[in-house]
Structures are given as C-alpha cells and as structure tokens.
Chains A and B, each alone.
Chain A
Amino acid sequence: MAELETHTITALVEDKPGVLARVAGMFSRRGFNISNLAVGHSEQDSLSRMTFVVEGGQQVVEQVTKQLYKLIDVVRVNDISSESIVVRELALIKVKSTAATRPEIMQIVDIFRANIVNVSKDALIIEVTGDEDKVDALLQLLRPFGVAETMRTGRVAMTRGGASTGAKRAAQPVPDHNAPDTDVVP
C-alpha cells in the first residue's frame, strides 16, 4: 500500500468554549481527513495550540489552512511538515502481567525508556513518550502479553530552534497572514 501523504499543521486558537467544535466541524463538513488532533493550552494566556495531521497533498493542505483562517477564533496556522520539528505523543498502555511475565515486560519497558506508572497483581500501566513509530513498536512487543487498554494523546509537534512555532512565517514581509498570496501559485 502506498504511503498516504500527510502534513502536520499547528494552529493557535482562541481559548474559548466551542472552538474545538468549530474546527472539527469545518474538517468534517468540507470533507478533509484528519488522522490526529491534539489540543492544549499554549504559552500565551487565552490561546490554545492545536496540532493536526491532515491527509492529502499540497492543494488539500492549502485549502485546510485557508479554511482554518476563515474561522474567527483561529489566530495562526502553520504547516510545519517541511520544517525541522520535534514530534511526540504520549501513550498509556495497560498490559496484563503475572509474576512470571513481569520481568520480561520490565525489560522491554527499559529498552524503550518508558515508565511503569502502576503495578497491580495482574496488570501494569506503562507510560511511553515518543513519535508514533516508537509507540507502535512498543505496543507490538507488548501485544503477546495481552494489552487490556491503550490511551494515546495523538501527535504534538514543535519546530526546533529558538523561535516559537510558526514565527518563521509571521516574520516574512507579507504583512497579513490572511492573505497567503504567494502560496497559492500552483
């Protein structure tokens, strides 16, 4: 199967009730596919930062970006796929264990630099941070023991270096982010 083209997009949005519904509603009614969505407070008061992974080519991403900008509560949008970024996701994995299997599981957890955050008679909860591939690989190794439950946050991403994510675009001479004129040329 051919790998789907995906883009990682971050958006700064007003931290207001309903903003997630506005963004999610726009994606669904315009038929855009997002494989991932993560939201949380940003470093600035009253602004949240969202990370999306959008499936599709350049043209789709361009429409997604512009449609996001049309939402009044969206302040800035950046496609950071082509930039040097740090990508992480956090997962909690509940895996079945017995006294016999526990050492082996702990070994795997060590190799992945994951943590065991809860131990009970018949299960462990493992906390792992990394990109999706790392989380997937750990899950695959744990599956034979019996994975009872997983909870994944989805991808969060940040550009490397001193500038805040998205600052690069804003520093360009084009004065207005609502008019990415030059980006539209096919």
Chain B
Amino acid sequence: MFTCRCTDRRFPEQNAAVYSRELRMRLSKLTRRFSLVVTGLVAMLSMPVAQAAYQLNMTEGVSPISKELYSLHMIVFWICVVIGLVVFAAMAWSIIHHRKSKGAVAANFHESTKVEIIWTVVPLLILIGIAIPATGTLLDLEDAKTNADITVQVTGIQWKWKYTFVDDDVSFISSLAQSSRDVIKDPTGNEHYLLEVDKPLVLPVGKKIRFLFHSNDVIHAWWVPALAVKQDSIPGFINDSWALIEEPGIYRGQCAELCGKDHGFMPIVVNAVSEPEYKEWLAGMQAEAAAAAASASEEWSMQDLVAHGETIYQANCSACHGPTGAGIPGAFPAMTGSAIVNGDAAAHIDIVVNGKAGTAMGAFKNQLNDVDIAAVITYERNSLGNSVGDTVQPSAIKNAR
C-alpha cells in the first residue's frame, strides 16, 4: 500500500469564514421573523466550521492554473454576494416596511422604462467585467501544447486508470488500493479511504506536464482538484490538458464522470517529487517491467500462478465478477461454474486477452502483461469454486496475442 508522506492541501481558513458568513446572511434574510429558530440552526452549522475539519471552499491548488481558477472563482463569488446583498436587502426592506399590518398603503406604479434600462445595462456591464478575465484564464487553461516537458497518456478503463509515459516506455495501471477495498463496510480510521491507489502516478515538480486523455470503454473524467485538471476521457477521442506542479506533495482526485457501477471507486493519486526522485522512480519502473518480461519466459508453478492471480483478480476483475466470483445476475456473469472458465483453456484465454465485443468485457491484452493474464486465468480456473486443475503459462498468453 502506498503511504502518505505529506499532508493534503487545505483551503485558507479565511474562505471558511466568508462562506459561513454568507450562509448566515442568506438564511437570516429569509427567515427574519423566525430569527430565533434560525440563529439556533446557524449556530449548529457554524460550530463545527470553527474546527476547520469542514472544507468549505475550492482548493487554491499547486499549479499556476489552479491559482488562476481559484481567484476567478472568488471574483465571481464576491460579485454574486454583492448583487445578492443589494437584491435581498431591497426585498427585506419591503417585507419589513411595506407591510399591510404596519398600515402601508400600496402605491400604484408599475412601469419605468428608465429603471428597466438601468437594470438591463448594469448587469450586462458586470458580465463583461467577468468575461474579460475568464477569457484570459480559459486561453491559459487550454494551452497544453506549448513547451510541454513530459507527456503522460491517461487511459480510463472501467474502473481504473492506465498511465503511459510516452517518451520513457513506462506504462502501468493504477487502481483502488486493497486497504480501501477491505474496509468498504466501515471505513472509519482509514484517512484516505477511496482516495488511495496501489500504484500512484509519480510526476516531477517544476515541469510542464501534458496529459493526453483517452478511454477504452465508456466516458470517464480525470480530476485532481489541486492541479485544476478535469478532462473527459472519451472513447475515440484524445483530449489534452496540462499542469505544472509547484510544490512536492501527494494530490488526490477521483473519476468525475459517471462510468458505471464502480464510478465511485476509481481514485487518482499524484505523487509530485523532485526531478532526481522522479528519474529514480522511472528507472525502477523500467527495471520492474524488464523483470516481468523475463519471468514471462519461465515456467510457473500452479501455486505461484494462483497466488499472483488472486491479486490481479481482486484489482481488475472483482468489480464486475465479484470478489467470490458470483458476478451480478443479469448484468455481469459469474465466474463460479462458468462454462468458459471450466471449458477449453484457449477460449478462456481468448476472452480475457481480446475481450468480448459489444459487452462490458474489455480486452486485457493492453492492460496486463503475460504473467498477470496467465496468473489470473489459472486463478479463475482453480479457485472461486472452480477446480479445472490445469495451469496456463505466460508463454501461452504470448502466443495468443
């Protein structure tokens, strides 16, 4: 499991105060007559706010774009607050002073072209005031191509992410950490529940990183708030976005586009490190891949294959086919007693390697290496209530590709 070395970014406390003040203001405007009830409610809501465990606002983030977005967000927010104050104050004034019970007699005016023009033109000018900085920020946000130092290809797969360092021949899959899967009924105490992965994406600080987004199946969206990157990954499309991480740290995010059953369980962890550390990590990944390739030509024992296969199964297959192989009736077939799993090994290999067109069963040849696929197939055939008794060796997968 990946452990955290530095704290997540928190919002500045000042903004907590802003939001809670505004909440109080709006509530009390609305319910002036019942101010006692409301004061009680607000006190209830704002007491925990003081403990700062309740995040109220957007993170300022750690990239130039995230900071730009944050200030634009605050500008628009304050404009809304001011307009809201004026409108609600006028309304409150009427409600308090122009009421029949106070003897108010209704006036009869119902038109004024001058006033109408004013409150059409003034908002228009305010909007232009918002549109100008927004245009600049948008152009910066969309400029992923210029001077990118590193290109990372991000592929959304139901329900995990695949990262490929295009220039360095490193590619791996990152999925929800087992430590989160284990406590899904009662996650109390797991600080990063659902925001931790088996293999984080490691990136260097101070470099412009260009992300290319793509999807294998349905639409996903890769979102890390602190980097202000949220971009859809769409089958048939390649989208891009960029980040320049200014501070080392661990930044967490999640898939933001409904992508099926386990949409809530495909987190993102970015570990931003210094450049030497990044190079070291990259070399480690390359060595790992080389070792895996070497072990693919060896003959594996049934015991080793099943043991390795279980890890692969839980990370890649259990979401649909169930941790015990029961599947979900009507949606995803069971592994236990399956005709394919208990039948000819070649057909079993084919469906895992190439997927099944027109269904949610994807082709794993681009996601897993030979050892992983051989292990998971052997595991499925000899576990989860099945006992075929044969092994599938990595060499068989190599031939099937």
Same complex for A and B? Answer no
Residues of A that sit less than 8 Å from B by CB: none
Using a CB–CB cutoff of 8 Å, the interface residues on chain B facing chain A are none
